[in-house]
Amino acid sequence: MVEKYSKRLRITSYDSDQSARLKPASFLNLAQEAANLHADYLGVGYDTITETRKAWVLARTHVIFHRLPAWREEVTLKSWHKRANGFQYYRDFEMLSEEGERIVSATTTWLVINIDTRRMVRQNDFGEEGILGIDEDVIEEPAPKVAMPRDAEAEAVGAHDVAFSDLDMNGHVNNVNYAVWAMDSVGLDVTLGRPLRELVINYNSEIKQGDRVELFRLHTSEGSVERYFIEGRVEGRVSFVAQLDF
């Protein structure tokens, strides 16, 4: 029987923001490492699949922050592979308080690519003859497609030249950095005044060394929710879109 990844954690100062709460990007860092470690346990980790010139890439992320844990708080992070659908592989995460309250829920969609061609391929270890997923949903629906609304004009909020600190082992911008850019593009007046409740990111294409990412923002309101769309473009091509609800 496949077991879930589970690890007890203490929220550190370097993962905390100005209000002494876990940064959203820090949760994504923790989730990314949990996924890496659990993939190793399942026999489909980085070292194993690179032998066949493959790599895992994150396609979509959906996170609900029910409550951001505080600095020094003890929490438990759990993760598991759910199922596969064609070229897509679904993995869920949950962060629990000491009392067992679910304080963060997340679901992610992963792809496997050929390192040389950058094209999608199947990872045949999953399915009826291989690794079975755990049929348990933290968020029932897969991470949704999100797009910048076209019925209003998005404003340019800056540009970012990809630097050393943005790049990961696969030679492209690490998925967590997109969340950092998105949060910074919203503006301090919002991020310091209201907690992030929900985050969706679509990673549409790789961003690499030497790229200049132009960032655009659109703000809408729905009842008590302040919603921000952040779009990153490289040479006019949409590379990622994020939706942030405060």
Residue 68 has pLDDT above 80, yes or no: yes
pLDDT at 2: 74
pLDDT of residue 1: 62
118 φψ region: left (φ > 0), alpha (ψ -120 to 50), beta (else): left
Q: What is the pLDDT of residue 171?
A: 86
Convert 193-216 to b/e letters by CB count within 10 Å (16 or more is b).
eeebbbbbbbbbebbeeebebbbb
**Per-residue confidence (pLDDT) for residue 133, from 0 to 100:** 87
Q: Is the separation of the CB atoms in 102 and 94 below 8 Å?
A: yes
Q: What is the pLDDT of residues 164-192, one digit of tens each?
A: 999 998 889 999 999 999 999 999 999 99
Beta carbons of 175 and 205 less than 8 angstroms apart: no
- Residue 132's pLDDT is 74
Distance from chain centroid for Cα 61: 4
Spacing of C-alpha 180 from chain mean position: 11
The whole-chain average pLDDT of the chain stands at 94
Q: Are 80 and 38 in contact (CB under 8 A)?
A: yes
Structural contact between residues 5 and 79, judged by C-beta atoms closer than 8 angstroms? yes
| Cα–Cα distance list, 246 to 26, 40, 225 (Å) | 17, 35, 6
SS3 98: coil
pLDDT at 234: 98
Would the pLDDT of 18 be above 60?
yes
Which is it for the CA torsion 40, 29, 204, 198, positive or negative? positive
Q: Which of 161, 188, 189 is nearest to 177 (CA)?
A: 161
Instruction: Kindly report the backbone phi and psi dihedral angles of residue 128, in degrees, each rounded to the nearest multiple of 5, phi listed first.
Output: -60, -30
pLDDT(20) > 50: yes
> Residue 77 pLDDT > 80, yes or no?
yes
Q: Which among 7, 1, 2 is positioned nearest to 31, based on CA atoms?
A: 7
| Lowest-confidence segment of 24-33, 34-43, 116-125, 222-231 by average pLDDT | 116-125
d(C-alpha 122, C-alpha 139), whole Å: 24
pTM over 0.85, yes/no: yes
Convert the pLDDT of each residue in 118-155 to its tens digit: 899 988 766 544 577 899 999 999 999 999 999 889 99
Q: HSE of 212 in the Cβ direction (CA atoms, 13 Å)? A: 5
Residue partners of 164: CB distance under 8 A and separation at least 6: none
pLDDT of 129: 47
